[in-house]
Each structure stands twice: as C-alpha cells, then as structure tokens.
Structure 1
Amino acid sequence: MSLEIERKFLLPRYPAAQIEAGELILQSEQRIEQTYLAMDENEELRVRRLTDLATGQVSHTHTFKSGNGLVREEVEYSISGSIYEQVTQAFGFMPLTKNRITASWNGRTVEIDTYDQIQLSVLEVEFPSLEEANSFQAPEWFGEDISSQKQYSNKTVWKQLQGEKWQEKQ
C-alpha cells in the first residue's frame, strides 16, 4: 500500500484572481462519479468513473483506503467500464459527482473539487512526508483547513446523499 498524505481546505470561492494572475496554472479537468461499496470508520472501498473533459477519455478505478486525517493508506487500480457498471448497478446507490481541476501552484500540484449535489468546493494538496504537510503554510485564499473534519470527507457526503437507502443496506 502507498501512503496518501494530504491537506484539504474549504475553498471559499473559485480562485479566478489567482488564475488570471498566473499564480494558479490549470492543467486538466475531470468529471468524477464515485460510489462507495463498503466502509466503516477507518476503511473504505469505492469505484470511480473519471472523464477527462478536454479529451472525453473515460477511465474507471477501484480504490481501498485505510485511516483518517492527514495520512491514509491507499491502493488504487484500474478496472474495466463493464466491471464498474456491474458493481454500481448491483448496489443501486447514487454516485457522488464532482468536477476536479488539477492545477500547478507555487511548484505544487493542487486539486480543486467542486461538488454537484451540495454547495462545496475543496482544495487538496498532497505531500511526500507528514513533516512537510504539517509545516505547510497555506495562503489565505485556500480557506479553512478541513483535513481532520470528517463532515467534509467524500464518504460522509456520499452517505448523506443515500439517506435511508444506505441504512437499509447495512
């Protein structure tokens, strides 16, 4: 398993000024649909359909994550579109949908997720070490650090979208 070390920020507004100033350089944008297959407090299994908005290229992934907060273990691999469809149809859950912009800022790659079903935009920064993540000083425009706030996690938001249907499957 590889470690995912990231900090998340509650982006208060689209960073148009940073893009216009050349401080934030857009690299790509994807449409993401993700559905959770199983989860508990510390682990999750999910599948995703990712569509590159520039090329239309579609890919699918299956991901296992373990842990909470800044550091989590992650295993992700590609699956076929057919497997993705079979799994999502078998469970019958509504996918969480969002657009993800990948950009370069100050020598770092950042990802901005803008969700459809709720009014939420999150900026994520990944780090090679916990020490670097802890010492990182985010600019004010990133917004509040929500790295350890579970109510903003994808799996929490996804569970809320499912409502009673999720409880029935438990």
Structure 2
Amino acid sequence: MGLEIERKWLVKDEILKKQDCIHLEDFDYRDISQGYLCAVPVIRIRKSIKKSGESHYMLSYKGRGLLEREEYNLPLTAEAYESLKGKIEGRLIEKRRYILPFGKYKIELDIFKGKLEGLIYAEVEFPTKEEAEKFSAPEWFNRELTEEPGNSNADLAFRN
C-alpha cells in the first residue's frame, strides 16, 4: 500500500515576495495540468513538464484522509492522458510547482494559474505521521489547511 503523509498551508503572495532568501527563478519547477475522473475516491490524471522540458504523465488514486491517506501512482502515456483528459469532471487545474529545499524536507510551492490565479499552496510530505506532527513550518507560511476540508486540489477542480 502506498501512503501519502502531507501537510498543506496557504501562502500569501505579498508575504512570499518579502522573503529575501526566496528567488523562485533559482529553483527547479514543473508545470502541472491535472484533472479528476472521480472525486470520491480521488482518481486523478496529471501531466507534468519539468523545467528541463521533460514530460511525465500519471494516473493517481487517493483514498480518504487529510493528513494521511492511501495513494497509488501509475504511469500513463501521453496518448492515454489526452484521451482521459476529455473525460474529466470539473475544471482542469493548472499550476507551476516549485521545489524548495527546507532542511531535510522539500517544500512544494504551487502557484495556480487560470481561474485559480492568485492562489498559492505550500505542501510538505513526510515519511511518518509523527514527523509531520512535529514539523515547524517556516514563518512565511500562512494558515494551515491540512485538516480543513475543501482545500484539496480535487475540491478546487469542482469549486465554481
């Protein structure tokens, strides 16, 4: 069984811009387009294009849960992704994900595009629930969203 243990925060653009140590152009990123074939359970397709131009396609299953949940990722071909893209429900989520090192962790900073422009999330994944609970977030993170229903990317895809 695959397990995802992750915490999520809202980040305010004006606070992020005041961080002298964060110059996004210096970090690795990927442009992500993802859509949902099903919301419960979450079945998602994703296209990810790295800064280098390399593309990856994936189908993901995510079980119930906020901090901790079951997760399986399966590779897709570009053709399979395009075929399934026509079957998604809700909107296609588009975002740029920057990968920022933070001690032994990686911050995945998602800057949304399109109808969700202006929204920024920071996510950190952990090997154990105990580590997740002990984690001290950087001061530039805003409100934690981990335990707040309605803030997953699947929820955003179905929000008006």
Q: Which residue in the other structure is 2:123 paired with?
A: 124
Q: Could you tell me whether the CA contact under 8 Å between 1:100 and 1:113 is conserved in 2?
A: yes
| Aligned AA (1:105) | F
| Structure 1 stretches lacking a partner, 5+ long | 164-170
Alignment of 1:4-19 (within 5 A): 4-13=4-13, 14=16, 16-19=19-22
CA radius of gyration, larger in: 1
Q: Which residue in the other structure is 2:148 paired with?
A: 149
Whether 1:30 aligns to 2:27 is no
| Aligned AA (2:140) | W
Displacement of 1:142 in angstroms is 1.3
> Is the partner of 2:84 in helix, strand or coil?
helix
Instruction: Give RMSD over aligned pairs.
Output: 2.0
Displacement of 1:83 in angstroms is 0.4
Structure 1 CA distance, aligned partners of 2:134 and 2:26?
25
Runs of 4+ in 1 over 3 A off after TM superposition: 24-27, 90-94
Q: Which residue in the other structure is 1:167 paired with?
A: none
Q: Could you tell me whether the CA contact under 8 Å between 2:33 and 2:95 is conserved in 1?
A: yes
Alignment of 1:92-131 (within 5 A): 94-116=91-113, 117-118=115-116, 119-131=118-130
Could you tell me the TM-score, scaled by structure 1's length? 0.83
Q: Could you tell me whether the CA contact under 8 Å between 2:107 and 2:122 is conserved in 1?
A: yes
Could you tell me the TM-score, scaled by structure 2's length? 0.88
Q: Could you tell me whether the CA contact under 8 Å between 2:6 and 2:125 is conserved in 1?
A: yes
Identity percentage over the alignment?
29
Query: Number of residues paired by the alignment?
Result: 155
